[in-house]
Amino acid sequence: MSVSQPKPEATPADPVALARELNELTGKAQAMFAELMKVPAERAAFGLAAPANPDPLNVAPAMTEAVQRLGMDPAKLVQANLQLWQQHMLLWQQMAATFAGGRQGVQAREPVAEPDPGDRRFRDPEWNSNPFFDYLKQSYLITSRWLVDTMSTVAGLDRQTAHKVDFYTRQFADAFSPSNFPWSNPEVLRETLATGGANLRKGFENFQRDLEHGKGKLNITMTDPAAFELGRDLAATPGKVVFRNDLIELLQYEPVTEQVHRTPILMVPAWINKYYILDLAPGKSLVAWLLGQGYTVFVVSWVNPDESRADKEFEHYLTEGVIAALEAVEAATGEHEVHGVGYCLGGTLLGVALGYLAQIGDQRFKTATMLAAQVDFSEPGDLAVFIDEPQLDNLDRMMAEKGYLDGQAMFTTFNMLRANDLIWSFFISNYLMGKDPQPFDLLHWNADATRMPRKMHLYYLRQMYLYNNLVKPGAMTLAGVPIDLTKVTVPVYLQATREDHIAPFRSVFKARHNYSGPVRFVLSGSGHIAGVINPPDKHKYQYWLNADEPWEVDAWLRGATAHPGSWWPDWDAWLSFQSGEMVPARHPGDRNLKPLADAPGSYVRT
């Protein structure tokens, strides 16, 4: 369907009315942006400016150095420009032949540039069938790939600078995709013509709503915020809060089997989001599935810290978090040995706890399961571009006033790692198409970010990401105990996901070099969330195992065998073998810890 042929059921818009509508929207937009310019710099739209530093992400020095070094290599620059010119000339020739041959020519020719298989920006049929939009698409792909390739291969840059240049060049290229603009996106243009611009009016209202919600920062709404209620649609597995301190509530869940494995499970989620990723909507809950396999399950629910907890440090998350939870599990069950499970940052903290307990001779963790969690940060992926000393100094100044980092800042950072999927797709849908976001449990959880105390957050970023001290024996001392992962001898189940943009599987795999006990590495399909939360009855994705367990990741991949479906049953087989005999089911309040409240508790609701 071409631009001149709207949908049959749509009534063509009155061109005069459409022009009036667009003119009115333009005036409102100009007035709104003029008002935004009056907002103090630290609250400017998108929330990236700070009063003392207009470049808190320290991008300008990296880009300046890259441009300077590129200018020092004129031969490379000439060659790059020649290649760009040749591809555009080839595209022009094909377009000329297309226009000469009409629609039949469009279908017959071989494209000069095609989107990557996973690129969803150009799914609308008109990107291929309409010569104008096809030309826009291919011209953009040629130019953006040339730009990224040229900037990412500048010689003489150090590793961090080169990574930053590559990352922000890709961000720039993604932002200027023709799909992101109303007059160069065929789907948006059809909708505008069919509705007389009503989609843009609704989109402008959505834009204003998100700015107001973000208090001057653009906080894109990704899902219907009223669609879910904790305890009803999410975090709905029955249980009780059996322990509470200044940092955590500990949830113990009601059993669903008459007998359970002797060894209970303690799950430690990341503190940057709410715990209920582990207890998502019914049918997607890892907690509920474990209960069905006959385990006693406890989950840490982190507090959402405010000014009153600004002085909390990383070691408090160890002692008042993991260690306090271990003691509470023993009080609740009478069992000294516990299976530890850590997801994402919670897995990193679990690794710290393993090193801490090994150093003091405490054997309370019988096994440890790491879900998409890193302990070696030498290859942390794109998150590394946000972490260097100038950026951490800027972050420190930003957190100084309140004593914590607002959750929205990290939410935006993680979204930038997959900008086309997590930023621009919603920009198009919400603001250009004027659609309301649909209910989606994963995105609801993803947007439910938590704050981080200043001292804890800076320690974590410096010690893990910047210095990689967790894998250096004795380089970190917490609560007076030097941390040495090589002294950890308990069995470890190390799970990673193949498309993880937060904890790359190659980085997760490196933990095999750090522990001294047996390690079972499992690689699952999909990404950081869907690759972990993958119930077996959904029959989605796959996972890989390598019985030889080679030492290097490439050798492991070459010899790995794919298995259909979820990795959860493989984990259950590994875990149950080490869980002791079956005992009568334990209920919250059976022993020394009396219930304080119903799950999901109060901390998760803040």
Nearest to 251 by CA among 295, 302, 304, 323: 302
Task: Give the SS3 label for residue 550.
Answer: coil
Bridge partner list, 452? 405
SS (H, E, C) 44-62: CHHHCCECCECCCCCHHHH
**Phi and psi angles of residue 404, each rounded to the nearest 5 degrees, phi first:** -155, 165
Cβ 420 vs Cβ 174: under 8 Å? yes
Alpha carbon distance 381, 276 (integer Å): 25
Q: Which of 344, 370, 488, 508 is catalytic?
A: 344
Examine the residue annotation and report whether 248 is marked as an active-site residue of this protein: no
Cβ 291 vs Cβ 237: under 8 Å? yes
Residue 120 burial (CB count, 10 A): 11
Nearest to 257 by CA among 289, 298, 219: 289
Question: Residue 372 is which amino acid?
Answer: A
SS (H, E, C) 137-161: HHHHHHHHHHHHHHHHCCCCCCHHH
Please report the sign of the dihedral spanned by the C-alpha atoms of residue 11, residue 17, residue 19, residue 21. negative
**Planar angle of CA 541, 543, 544, nearest 5 degrees:** 145
Question: Residue 274 is which amino acid?
Answer: K
Q: Please give the structure tokens belonging to residue 453.
A: 């105390």
What are the Cα distances from residue 163, in Å, to 62, 68, 387? Answer: 9, 16, 11
Residues near 497 by beta carbon (within 8 Å), at least 6 away in sequence: 372, 503, 505, 523, 524, 525, 526, 527, 528, 530, 531, 532
Alpha carbon distance 578, 408 (integer Å): 40
Please report the sign of the dihedral spanned by the C-alpha atoms of residue 20, residue 22, residue 24, residue 27. negative
Under DSSP, the state recorded for 275 is G
- For residue 600, say if its preceding peptide bond is cis, omega within 30 degrees of 0: yes
The radius of gyration computed from the CA coordinates of the chain, to the nearest angstrom, equals: 27
SS (H, E, C) 192-214: HHHHCCHHHHHHHHHHHHHHHHC
Strands 265-268 and 297-302: parallel
Alpha carbon distance 435, 215 (integer Å): 22
Question: Residue 400 is which amino acid?
Answer: A
Task: Catalogue the long-range contacts made by 526-529 (C-beta closer than 8 Å, 24 or more residues apart).
Answer: 526/497, 526/498, 526/499, 527/497, 527/499, 527/500, 527/501, 528/344, 528/372, 528/497, 528/500, 528/501, 528/502, 528/503, 529/277, 529/442, 529/446
Active site residues: 344
